[in-house]
Structure 1
Amino acid sequence: MDGNAWRIAGGSALVDGALRQADVLLTEGRLAEAAPGARVLDARGLLVMPGLVDIHGDAHERSLQPRPGIGFPAGMAVRDTAAQLLASGITTAYLGVTLSWEPGLRSLETWRVLMAALDEARPMLALDLRVHLRFEADNLDALDDALSDIATGRVHLLGFNDHTPPILRRMDDAKQVAKYAGRAGVSPEEYQALIGRIAARRGEVPAARERLAAAAHKAGLPMLSHDDATLEDRALYRGYGAGICEFPMSEAVAEDARTHGEAVVMGAPNVVRGGSHLGWASAAPLAERGLVTVLASDYHWPALLAAPFAMARRGRMDLASAWALVSGNPARAAGLTDRGALEPGFRGDVVLVDPVGPEAVAVFCGGRLAHLTAAGAARLQ
């Protein structure tokens, strides 16, 4: 019996865009047409689906800092994050790591520590754990680090963030100032002084964006813009080469992105909860109209697995079509051509789902059995 070969037998597999009973074979890390000497996992009554591809998830921040100001070692946080991702059926994850001018959780210091922890952990991880750099526009002091990490392959997706203007507009609200200061671990007075210094250098932002975009182009990285509020915003970032529109703030922006053939990302929690927690557009109807093409876990890993089932329950999209939003579509948007479907030769990323939960009963990453519940263990033959 070959421990590196598997036959996932008797399940309802998503093949060629439809669910049908079929065995799925894995060997040498890839989906295959034959797998001599394979071990067998009984998938009867389960769905056999391509592994989830999460283009933006930042729930790792709660592993780094479970409570405001209470931090834990980055290595521990990475291990905890990997376990949570696998339990959610996510086999390729882009950690949305914000590199901000604010001190604390999203600071340059935390970025450096987390990058080092990821470098150390990756050889031992089953899932493909990547970095989505969410670069805050005014973080000019961190620009050299960002450029270096892009050039050395530590960054896999570049996101243009610009949250400084809305923060500046809230500086007359003492409650908002206290919230931002608490997140940064400084006093309200220190925070206001800090943002004043940041705003004074606003004129240097366009040149910094140009350098980031040039570095990403040279490294072959996909780029996205975050929270585009206007058509002008989308046009600006499109000009830099950002072909993904993430969390557009209006339907018109999403329509414009789709007109230009761009992927549009919204949050899976939005779908699962039935709407945005911020009162923005509801993702599910936009996905049904083709205006949202990718769902991301955003701030809650398990939502990515639950979202296709929530879409299917609405009755306007079947489960096979909805699964594309969390697997095939994000893979293509990120330029990953070897995953997102159960096709021979593709990377062996497979999730066996009990639809009643839904729950990931077993997860294969690169052909390796990476996660198995007690119910899944009883299915091994």
Structure 2
Amino acid sequence: MEQPSWRITGGTALLDGALRPADIALADGRLAEPASGGRVLDARGLLVLPGLVDLHGDAHERCLQPRPGIGFPAALAVRDMAAQLLASGITTAYLGVTLSWEPGLRSLATWRLLMAALEEARPRLALDLRVHLRFEADNLDALDDALSGIATGQVHLLGFNDHTPPILSRLDDPKQLAKYAGRAGLSPEAFRALIGRVAARRDAVPEARARLAAAAAKAGLPMLSHDDATLADRALYRGLGARICEFPMAEAVAEDARAAGEAVVMGAPNVVRGGSHLGWASAAPLAERGVVTVLASDYHWPALLDAPFALVRRGRMALPEAWALVSGNPAAAAGLHDRGALQPGLRGDVVVVDPAGPEALAVFCGGRLSHLTAAGAARLV
């Protein structure tokens, strides 16, 4: 079916790093030179911005399991997550899917169900929905599935996770143990026994990591490391080919990554809330200094749209610079050179924003109108 062409008229558009009045055109799924004809959206008083690109969002876990132990079919969860992402202005989303040795929500069984649901739903989805595989280092039993997902194109971004050591360090805290056991659907005693068996195979982790890295490199996938605590951690993953440093736990690690020309990712909720919910570094001042180059939705999709405006309110960044953190920079970090800017010929991913909210009134994905609020509908001409 031929796509209708669109003109988004009268708005303030982000063009070549600056905001200025301009009409934006969409034709054949891409941004086009302004022309007459086509359907019209009146954007007077609104901002016209490149679609959001989210490298790490794991809010889909609440679509799969809205309450602990209460699950819903993966197909229903995919429809729910797609609607929420579009309402947040996100046109390219990497679901941060954790493949862990833990039973339940992050298990191999859940991974298989979600991958099958995504494969079935993707042809009907408006947004570009991708998979960021967060592979837990000790999950040796799932290595073959991970390698297969990389080889067959089900995985689009590989993340190296290693949460076993910190979990082991907290087992003497009854509250922490209860949290981990509850997430896995096990008794505290059964969880202790499970992680003991997992830790006993630790010597096999380096070889498994190397195999994953080699497979990702062969497939041309970007790689990242998660929660690097030390410069040695960053050096280890850099050696494996991970050129994105995600949620570094020390400022020195982030600075080292930037000195090496690598992208540094932190959470948009951190910016919106004014700090990390875990008590780690505050992302906003690091972004203002150029140490953080990418913001991701992490656990809350709507925060990705709000974060650039929160940075503007701090008075140290203009919106074009702040918007790059959630659109152009993540697209570049992921090797997606066909999006992240409003330039003719690029993919037609556009979000029309009421800055008073901020709220996404209309979202275009690949040139198609994919989300429209009541206020947005009133602007159709």
- Which bin holds the TM-score, normalised by the shorter protein? over 0.9
Are 1:292 and 2:289 matched, yes or no? no
SS of 2:5's equivalent? strand
Distance in 2 (alpha carbons) for counterparts of 1:146 and 1:257: 26
Query: Alpha-carbon deviation of 1:170?
Result: 1.0
Residue in structure 2 matched with residue 115 of structure 1 by the alignment: 115
Residue in structure 1 matched with residue 46 of structure 2 by the alignment: 46
Query: Alpha-carbon deviation of 1:239?
Result: 0.1
Residues 1-381 of structure 1 correspond to what in structure 2 (within 5 A)? 4-381=4-381
SS of 1:291's equivalent? coil
Distance in 1 (alpha carbons) for counterparts of 2:150 and 2:40: 41
Contact kept, 8 Å, 1:84 with 1:301, in 2: the verdict is yes
Letter in 2 for 1:116: A
Give the length in aligned residue pairs: 380
Letter in 1 for 2:69: G
Contact kept, 8 Å, 2:3 with 2:367, in 1: the verdict is no
Contact kept, 8 Å, 2:3 with 2:368, in 1: the verdict is no
Q: Deviations over 1:189-238 (max 9, x none)?
A: 11000000000000000000000000000000000000000000000000
Letter in 2 for 1:358: P
Residue ranges of structure 2 left out of the alignment (5+ in a row): none
Q: Deviations over 1:257-290 (max 9, x none)?
A: 0000000000000000000011000000000000
Contact kept, 8 Å, 1:6 with 1:40, in 2: the verdict is yes
Q: Deviations over 1:87-118 (max 9, x none)?
A: 00000000000000000000000000000000
Distance in 2 (alpha carbons) for counterparts of 1:139 and 1:267: 25
SS of 2:306's equivalent? helix
Letter in 2 for 1:108: L
CA RMSD in angstroms, aligned pairs only: 0.8
Query: Alpha-carbon deviation of 1:37?
Result: 2.6
Contact kept, 8 Å, 1:135 with 1:158, in 2: the verdict is yes
| TM-score normalised over the length of structure 1 | 0.99
Distance in 2 (alpha carbons) for counterparts of 1:5 and 1:35: 10
Query: Alpha-carbon deviation of 1:174?
Result: 1.8
| TM-score normalised over the length of structure 2 | 0.99
Q: Deviations over 1:10-55 (max 9, x none)?
A: 0000001000000000000000014453111000000000000000
Runs of 4+ deviating beyond 2 Å: 34-37
SS of 1:300's equivalent? coil
Distance in 2 (alpha carbons) for counterparts of 1:4 and 1:145: 40
Query: Alpha-carbon deviation of 1:61?
Result: 0.2
Query: Alpha-carbon deviation of 1:3?
Result: 5.5
Distance in 2 (alpha carbons) for counterparts of 1:221 and 1:119: 18
